[in-house]
Amino acid sequence: MSKDPKYRVALIGGGRAGPSRAHAFDVHPLCSVVAVADTDPENLELTSRRFGAAAYSTWDEMFANERLDIVLPILPVRPNADAVVAAAEAGVKAIFCEKPLTASLVDADRMVAACASAGIPLGAGVMVSSHPDYRRAYGLASGGTLGRVHRINLFGSNNQGGCHGLNLTRKFAARAAVEQVIGRVSEDPHSDHEHPYDGASTGFGNVGGWVRFANGVEAFLGVEETSLSCIEVIGTRGMILNRNNTGLGLQLRLAPEEQERPGLADMERVEAGFEKELNTDRGYDEHGWIDPGDVMRAIVDDFIRVLEEGGELEITTGDDLRHALEIAIALRESHRRGQVPVTLPLEDRSLTMYPQQTRWHYKKTIMGREAYMAQLAQQKREG
């Protein structure tokens, strides 16, 4: 770790996921974790000691006492919006938070607005959508390799506010504005909850339907449970597909250039240098930390590129997850209104879609201290 880093990094939330995310920044030669904030004294003591960082019981206290460049709110979703906005108002240079972004559109709007108004890049979520393979695939789709992209087929539950499948769909549609959706959920369309909790007796279940983007791309989203978690991006000259929306294994298929009006049967697999699968055998590094993984390393590198060179983040951003959440809510709204077309942007920004209980609430309370601390211990080998 650098004793005089160019970028001073702070972690908000020293729990199960936070230390691993912070370590990925800490090992970058331009970064060092200098502060940790957590309302749980046990997590705070352990994580701040592991990093040799200053410990604070609130983020307000931390912002008042530290000069910070990069802040990582790695929290249950419930306080996520307040933490991101507080970091933006503290004048930091970059923010990375976890997924889902938040539950309500009004909170998503204020998170994105707080960062955009201050010129602060906001990245969100350790997801395969940020992997270099996917970022290259978005470029192939938008750059004409597939011809004109006209259809996207998506199979998956689209839970967690659509941060996996709906986010991927929008990116492959060149982040075009959504004009209209017709949606359906698999369970209760009038529930705000992914699964029943906090007094909710039902959940909305899986989310799907039809989405039309302003550039003419149409997306068809399966609702029923299947063994597939698949995306197909279909153009007039080729297609990109993956059989696992949360993993690697992208394929590029193209039709012969001389083929007129090619069909899917004419498209043959072309080597595009995509990796077959994520490296899940992460192991521990020389300092005893568990390896943060390829996706998290790509996220760190992209942040540093933007801070050093300027430009926009290529990884999944807070704005990406805001749009994914809005699409998911709009699909549910369509079902609520009798599966009628719903136009975006949604006017009612108070609409809310709660993720599963273990995302919204503090996992130590749900899992129990023993199981939680056992997972936290796995982040770093002591001694």
Rounded average pLDDT over 351-358: 96
Residues 75/86, Cβ–Cβ less than 8 Å: no
pLDDT on residue 3? 60
**Chain centroid, CA 143 distance in Å:** 24
How confident is the model over 37-52, as pLDDT tens digits? 999 999 999 999 999 9
Q: E strands of 74-202, at which residues? A: 94-97, 122-124, 149-154, 178-185
pLDDT on residue 223? 87
How confident is the model over 135-190, as pLDDT tens digits? 999 999 999 999 999 999 999 889 999 999 999 999 999 999 999 999 999 999 99
Residue 345 predicted with pLDDT over 70: yes
pLDDT on residue 280? 66
pLDDT band for position 1 (cuts 50, 70, 90)? very low
How confident is the model over 302-319, as pLDDT tens digits? 999 999 999 999 999 999
CB atoms near residue 117 (< 10 Å): 9
State the DSSP code for 355.
Answer: -
Rounded average pLDDT over 288-300: 93
Residue 2 predicted with pLDDT over 50: no
124 closest CA partner among 109, 112, 114, 137: 112
pLDDT on residue 383? 64
Residue 227 predicted with pLDDT over 80: no
What's the chain's average pLDDT?
Answer: 94
Residue 244 predicted with pLDDT over 80: yes
pLDDT on residue 229? 83
Distance CA 245, CA 227 (A): 12
Rounded average pLDDT over 225-239: 88
Residue 13 predicted with pLDDT over 70: yes
Distance CA 125, CA 117 (A): 21
List the strands of the sheet with 231-235, edge to edge: 268-270, 251-254, 238-242, 231-235, 149-154, 218-221, 207-213, 178-185, 342-343
Cross-strand partners of 207: 185
pLDDT on residue 124? 98
How confident is the model over 91-143, as pLDDT tens digits? 999 999 999 999 999 999 999 999 999 999 999 999 999 999 999 999 999 99
Rounded average pLDDT over 277-281: 73
Any idea which of 2-16, 23-37, 288-302 has the lowest mean pLDDT? 2-16
173 closest CA partner among 131, 138, 145, 146: 138
Distance CA 124, CA 134 (A): 16
State the distance between the two ends of the chain, measured CA to CA, in whole angstroms: 18
pLDDT on residue 75? 97
Higher pLDDT, 31 or 4: 31
CB atoms near residue 263 (< 10 Å): 8
Distance CA 175, CA 347 (A): 20
Most confident of 244-248, 276-280, 367-371: 367-371
